[in-house]
Structure 1
Amino acid sequence: MSDTETRPPAADAGNGLKRNAIGTGGIAFLVISAAAPLTVMAGVAPVAIGIGGIGAPMGYLTAGAVLLVFAIAFMAMTKHVKAAGGFYTYITLALGKTVGLASAILAIVSYNCLQIGVYGLFAVQTQAMLKTLFGLDVPWPAVALGAIALVWLLGYRGIDVGAKVLGVLLVAETAILAVMGAAILARGGASGISFSSFSPDHAFTPGVLAILAICFAAFMGFESTVLYRREARNPDKSVPRATYVAVGFMSVFYAFIVWTAIQAYGDGDVVAAAGELADGMFFATINHYVGPWAETVMYVLIVTSVYASQLAFHNAINRYVYMLAKDGVLPAFLGKTHPKYQSPHRAGQVQTILAAAVISVCAILGADPYQQLLIWVNTPGIVGIVALQGLVSVAAFIYLRRNPAAVTHRLMIPLSIASAVLLFGVVSLIAINIELLTFADALTNSILLLITPVVFLTGLLVARSLRKNRPHVFTRIGSFETHDS
């Protein structure tokens, strides 16, 4: 079937993407799935415990609190930004087309870093599952490339199918973690239940500050609620509600599960256990406290959990690319939707090819799928997204100052300022402690940190070039379905 930009009856009247009347719960499911709770806990939380000690749960609560402040500032503009472009349209509306385009390019690069890097975790965890359950030893590149194909297939069919799959996976992975946590508490942990994790002596140590990058990474993708605005039922209410539900749930749930994992080994032994068991810590824990059957279930669910995360990021990336194509910045074919599914399938095809190319290069060079593909490729993505969140907070402040009618509460403007300060502070903490995240040498860390400013500067230069050489395109930046009232 041929591509089309003509909107069929089932498509949304705004941007050609399929509208599925998703409610608050559905959007929240999609967004929480983007973070993949089981992946965050089993794959990364042991690192947080090893570095942050028993105060690690406070890292997740702190990240959640900062992002709730950000969400309030972010959502203050929701009723005035009708596009599905996320950060792109929000920043453009308040800070202008030049900064807006640079932000869009940075968002695309950052989300791609997050999405592509996580294929390393998917490969490692799937390898472990296949070897443990079936005795099969499958090369990690084959696993990663197979996952890329599956993500493309479901994304190709549109958000309706994706929402159903993501919802089922989210319930299953949340349930298995909750069962583990409940079993640990029911048996009194290793040496009784302790609340020392939340005492000031442990909650605000240098180690906890060092793991903020890990903790913020656990929330990556929650801001994608606005990308589903055109597919939402009553978006002015459901999008803000879904955002608050997603951030609130993830913050409390992550902290609870990490705290119970600490109880499973005891305050005095958990750091050593995290270092010794590494990404096998949660599997060993659930085997001991729940049973071998639960370990098997967790192996299966962590694979589907990573898949859910990949699909959600894939959809978010596609929508950014779609919006830039509709604004005329990227080639027009990327702004075409599938005639049947109304999905941005051309954008999805390009993202799939890019992911496959990066995986193939890593395989040829003999890169480690966890340390170099996951950690190194993810790091610029984390820095980029947190920086963009800070920039959105600045945009919210400027927009609210210019439009007093949009200020519905006297705390909105102060909270937008606080959000910007907190988020740029987090970027600084990530930069200062990056070696604890990457375990790389100084040169590698410098390159990883430079990616964000270099991409943003490149975006500014592209925007200036468009303004000079293609003014008709420059005037369309951020204008697609963006309204001031």
Structure 2
Amino acid sequence: MSVTPKTSPERTGPAAEPPTLRRATLGTSDIVFFVVSAAAPLTVMAGVAPLAIVLGGIGAPAGYLIAGITLAVFAVGFTTMSRHVRNGGAFYAYIAQGLGKPAGIGAALLAMVGYNGMEIGVYGLLGSATAETAEALWGVHIPWLPVSLAGLLIIWYGGFRSIEFGAKLLGVLLVAETGILVLLAGGVLIKGGANGLSAASFAPGNVLVPGTAVVLAFAFTAFTGFESTAIYRREARDPGRTIRRATYIAVAFLGLFYAFVVWTVIQAFGDDEVVKAATDDTGGLFFAAITTYVGGWAADLMHILIVTSILASLLAFHNAINRYGLALAEEGVLPKTFARIHRRHRSPYVVGIAQSVLGLAVVLAFALAGADPYTQLLLWVNTPGGIGLMALQLLAAIAVPFYFRRVTHTEGVLRTVVAPTVAAVLLAAAIWLVASKIDVFTGASSTVNTILLAIVPATFLIGLGLARRLRRSRPEVYARFGAEPEQPDAEPEPGQPAGPAAVPAPADPAQ
């Protein structure tokens, strides 16, 4: 009796098609978790805000409000353009559409360097913060490098898993880190602070002081990552509305929350004493405050939550980098292999592996050189990354009015001209502030600072050179760079067509 072996039917239909990112998956709150987690509120408050108080006095809370207002103005034009340009490359696509393909390719390279700088440097902070936590809580010395390497593995796995996994994890971590700050603020408010509650922090005489410039520099960097809302457009539900809402919520939350927390810590010590307290123990200011007003157990918990806050920030930036890399691979600028998406998790896992390998190489290079994980790995790598992202915001703000001059649309002049122009002026001033105070951020020599500052314009210029090369050697890639995706948004806004809401004018041959 013969048996005919069974054969598997040929795979056809949707199952045989290459997998894509999960569409219509993320709601407004999910995207807010990603972008606010990238800013690492607890780490920014406990680690940086005390220095802002030392240098800017009791007017420091107003600096965070001013930065928040500036970025809210930027968000007006940014979110307006996000309704019309549906490319997953966000910043670089907006810049390409508004300022031309060469500027867009320069911006794409700057985005990859900026976001990688913001993530990879933080592995040094993870190692040093974990070592400090172990020392403070258990008296155990832990070398920073094994912790950073373990962090690389954890973050790779988080990015490898589905976007829902990342959103849920970041939601839990973000609630925990903001919760401990709310607990501190509540304790101060209930007990009335050291000398009663005062609004002197917002008095013009305390805000308009020379140290405010340094506070503003710190404040702008504290919002890093909020603009990454648009990167998740392809995975968002009702992206036309979700991206806009998530951006405004993230900016409003960070600006108000930062200002509120810094103000409550000032009240914890009193207007007359807080600067001295912050000067005497900059790194321990928040821990001393929460010990006094809540209890020692809360200070111990804050130590642990700072570590989880750093992990949340790393995962948020890792996901953002993966999506930028995916978009560039789909454009043809990066190798097509990077465009592969995991069939089960629907994650851009190949670019995630590449990003983790890059992080591993940088971390090991600094370790082999005997560099300090905080003062060198973190500060030297983070600083050009942060300035690079601010430069991208500036270019995007400039691109908005140029784009809307070239398309047919129904948007008002306030959104398409006034707000982005004002934002461009304010962002240019913010970049100048950060660059002029770079020694405060890095603590490095003038030579090192000059090199760190030069990385940003050099990266953009290299991108312009790459654009010329692409135009000459791969004209088909250059021609479609920054264009609209072939697939429409999963859920167009009610009453709106599935395609782009604006009709582009004929392409400028000069681009």
Matched to 2:25, the amino acid is A
RMSD: 1.9
What residue number does 1:3 align with? none
**Aligned-pair distance for 1:211?**
2.5
Do residues 151 (structure 1) and 155 (structure 2) align? yes
What residue number does 1:454 align with? 458
Do residues 48 (structure 1) and 65 (structure 2) align? no
- In the alignment, the residues of structure 1 paired with residue 23 and residue 150 of structure 2 have an alpha-carbon distance, to the nearest angstrom, of 29
Matched to 2:139, the amino acid is G
- Change beyond 3 A, Cα 1:164–1:469: same
Secondary structure in 2 matching 1:77: helix
Matched to 1:204, the amino acid is L
The question of whether the paired residues in 1 share the 8 Å contact of 2:77 and 2:415 is answered with no
- In terms of mean alpha carbon deviation, does 294-303 or 241-250 score higher? 294-303
What residue number does 1:300 align with? 304
- In the alignment, the residues of structure 1 paired with residue 229 and residue 465 of structure 2 have an alpha-carbon distance, to the nearest angstrom, of 29
What residue number does 1:69 align with? 73
1:353 to 345, 350, 357: 357
**Aligned-pair distance for 1:48?**
1.5
**Aligned-pair distance for 1:275?**
2.4
1:94 to 91, 94, 98: 98
- In the alignment, the residues of structure 1 paired with residue 369 and residue 13 of structure 2 have an alpha-carbon distance, to the nearest angstrom, of 45
What residue number does 1:266 align with? 270
Superimposed CA distance per residue, residues 299-358 of structure 1 (whole angstroms, 9 cap, x where no aligned partner): 111111110000000011111111111111111111111111111111111111111111
Matched to 1:379, the amino acid is T
Q: Structure 2: which 5+ residue stretches go unaligned?
A: 1-11, 487-499, 504-511
Superimposed CA distance per residue, residues 78-129 of structure 1 (whole angstroms, 9 cap, x where no aligned partner): 1111122110111111112111111010011011111111122211221122
Matched to 1:467, the amino acid is R
Secondary structure in 2 matching 1:80: coil
- In the alignment, the residues of structure 1 paired with residue 222 and residue 325 of structure 2 have an alpha-carbon distance, to the nearest angstrom, of 24
**Aligned-pair distance for 1:231?**
1.0
TM-score normalised by L of structure 1: 0.95
Q: How does 1:224-243 map to 2 (within 5 A)?
A: 224-243=228-247
Matched to 2:59, the amino acid is G
The question of whether the paired residues in 1 share the 8 Å contact of 2:101 and 2:482 is answered with yes
Q: Percent of aligned pairs with the same residue?
A: 49
Superimposed CA distance per residue, residues 241-265 of structure 1 (whole angstroms, 9 cap, x where no aligned partner): 1110110011000000011111111
Do residues 221 (structure 1) and 228 (structure 2) align? no
**Aligned-pair distance for 1:480?**
5.4
Superimposed CA distance per residue, residues 375-434 of structure 1 (whole angstroms, 9 cap, x where no aligned partner): 221111111111110100111111122235142454541111111111111111111222
Do residues 277 (structure 1) and 281 (structure 2) align? yes
The question of whether the paired residues in 2 share the 8 Å contact of 1:148 and 1:355 is answered with yes
- In the alignment, the residues of structure 2 paired with residue 159 and residue 56 of structure 1 have an alpha-carbon distance, to the nearest angstrom, of 36
What residue number does 1:445 align with? 449
- In the alignment, the residues of structure 2 paired with residue 79 and residue 144 of structure 1 have an alpha-carbon distance, to the nearest angstrom, of 39
The question of whether the paired residues in 1 share the 8 Å contact of 2:86 and 2:484 is answered with no
Divergent runs of 4+, >3 A: 6-11, 408-412, 482-485
1:433 to 431, 434, 437: 437
Q: How does 1:463-474 map to 2 (within 5 A)?
A: 463-474=467-478
Do residues 192 (structure 1) and 196 (structure 2) align? yes
What residue number does 2:132 align with? 128
- In terms of mean alpha carbon deviation, does 475-484 or 382-391 score higher? 475-484
Do residues 83 (structure 1) and 50 (structure 2) align? no
Secondary structure in 1 matching 2:83: helix
What residue number does 2:325 align with? 321
**Aligned-pair distance for 1:150?**
0.3
Secondary structure in 1 matching 2:343: coil
**Aligned-pair distance for 1:371?**
1.4
Equivalent pairs counted in the alignment come to 478
What residue number does 2:6 align with? none
The question of whether the paired residues in 2 share the 8 Å contact of 1:52 and 1:208 is answered with yes
Q: Structure 1: which 5+ residue stretches go unaligned?
A: 1-5
Matched to 2:419, the amino acid is L
The question of whether the paired residues in 2 share the 8 Å contact of 1:10 and 1:18 is answered with no
What residue number does 1:138 align with? 142
**Aligned-pair distance for 1:8?**
6.0
**Aligned-pair distance for 1:171?**
1.0
- Change beyond 3 A, Cα 1:440–1:82: same
- In the alignment, the residues of structure 2 paired with residue 357 and residue 411 of structure 1 have an alpha-carbon distance, to the nearest angstrom, of 43
**Aligned-pair distance for 1:10?**
12
Matched to 1:114, the amino acid is M
Secondary structure in 2 matching 1:211: helix
The question of whether the paired residues in 2 share the 8 Å contact of 1:10 and 1:19 is answered with no
Secondary structure in 1 matching 2:281: helix
Secondary structure in 2 matching 1:278: coil
